[in-house]
Amino acid sequence: MYKIGFIGIGIMGKPMSKNLLKAGYKVTAYDLNQEALEDVVKSGASRGENSMQVASVSDVVITILPNSPHVKEAVLGKNGVLEGAKPGTMIVDMSSIDPMASKEIHAEVIKKGCFMIDAPVSGGEPKAIDGTLSIMCGGKKEIFEKVKDILNVMGSAVTLCGDIGAGNTTKLANQIIVAINIAAVSEALILGQKAGVSPAAIFEAIRGGLAGSTVMDAKVPKMLKGDFDPGFRIALHIKDLNNVIDAGHKVGAPLPLTSSVMEMMQWLRANNKDMLDHSAIVQYYEFLSNADVRA
């Protein structure tokens, strides 16, 4: 079994690293948040001193961090992964970042005689906990095959989408669909509420038909309960949509629906709601319509 380094013990990283421990892997973990790190250490992980030290004792280093600058710092910066990695070390970046940043980091990784794939995830905290994430990968097939068993511990769908950066491009596509789906569901439930039809009844009636989706099943119950504890924060979805829009501008892809949902999220941020779950998009519609889907 490969020895694994795990950098980033957040909402997603904590359960993902614990699943690796349950599967019998030796894990050395590191995070700036000592409380989160302590939780994983209590579950059996070794405590890493910094990214460099984690890499020095690992065959595979997994990173899952908020955005491109954080990954660059953790991998390329002072006391970073590349300062501790041995030639042949495999880096699996599971963060959701700009595909161009993945390519830039990869270029430096290769210079050090190491390897890298980008492997962002979808499914939120519940699927991170039960190990059924969707994992979208970009990189060389031979490196993907070497780490696939590790990824299968954390996900139920692990797909190689292309060369480096393809994983993050696929994740951006995923985030477009999720954001627009949540907005569409919110719009539909508010229509029902204003027309005197129970949003809960609408949900039950249409969830098994063509309009049904994983997003609907995961997010409508939260809306109906008024439970906006974050499985995936609006602030992080804003980050992803910023990357979507940047990538779209670079390749000439039109993004009118994405841009509209981004404005909804920016309103939520301006109203101090950006740390809520992205299902709180419904609150934008509730404000405009003076309605409440829980009523």
Give the three-class secondary structure for 236: helix
Residue type, 25: Y
pLDDT tens for the 295 residues of the chain, in order: 999 999 999 999 999 999 999 999 999 999 999 999 999 999 999 999 999 999 999 999 999 999 999 999 999 999 999 999 999 999 999 999 999 999 999 999 999 999 999 999 998 888 999 999 999 999 999 999 999 999 999 999 999 999 999 999 999 999 999 999 999 999 999 999 999 999 999 999 999 999 999 999 999 999 999 999 998 899 999 999 999 999 999 999 999 999 999 999 999 999 999 999 999 999 999 999 999 999 7
Give the three-class secondary structure for 240: helix
Give the three-class secondary structure for 132: coil
In the annotation, is 14 catalytic? no
Look at strands 121-122 and 115-118 and give their pairing.
unpaired
| Sequence ranges of the domains in the chain | 4-163, 169-289
| Whether 62 contacts 128, CB under 8 Å | no
Residue 193 tokens, joined: 């509420």
| Whether 65 contacts 95, CB under 8 Å | yes
CA distances from 225 to 158, 212, 232 (A): 32, 19, 17
pLDDT of residue 261: 98
As a whole number of angstroms, the distance between CA 144 and CA 272 comes to 40
Residue 290, exposed/middle/buried by CB under 10 A (0-12, 13-18, 19+)? exposed
Q: Within the chain, how many helices (H) and strands (E) appear?
A: 14, 9
Residue 82 tokens, joined: 């590349």
Residue 157 tokens, joined: 């769908």
CB atoms within 10 A of CB 204: 11
Give the three-class secondary structure for 137: strand
CA angle 178, 180, 185 (to 5 degrees): 95
Domain 4-163 grouped into CATH 3.40.50.720: yes
Give the HSE-up count for residue 283: Cα atoms under 13 Å, Cβ half-sphere.
Answer: 21
As a whole number of angstroms, the distance between CA 2 and CA 142 comes to 16
Q: Which of 14, 127, 171, 273 is catalytic?
A: 171
Of 73, 70, 75, nearest in space to 89 by CA: 75
As a whole number of angstroms, the distance between CA 40 and CA 83 comes to 24
Of 41, 39, 31, 34, nearest in space to 9 by CA: 31
| Element containing residue 47 per DSSP (H, E) | strand 46-47
| Whether 148 contacts 155, CB under 8 Å | no
Pick 169-289's CATH classification: 3.40.50.150, 2.40.50.100, 1.10.1040.10, 3.20.20.300: 1.10.1040.10
Category of 242 on φ-ψ map: left (φ > 0), alpha (ψ -120 to 50) or beta: alpha
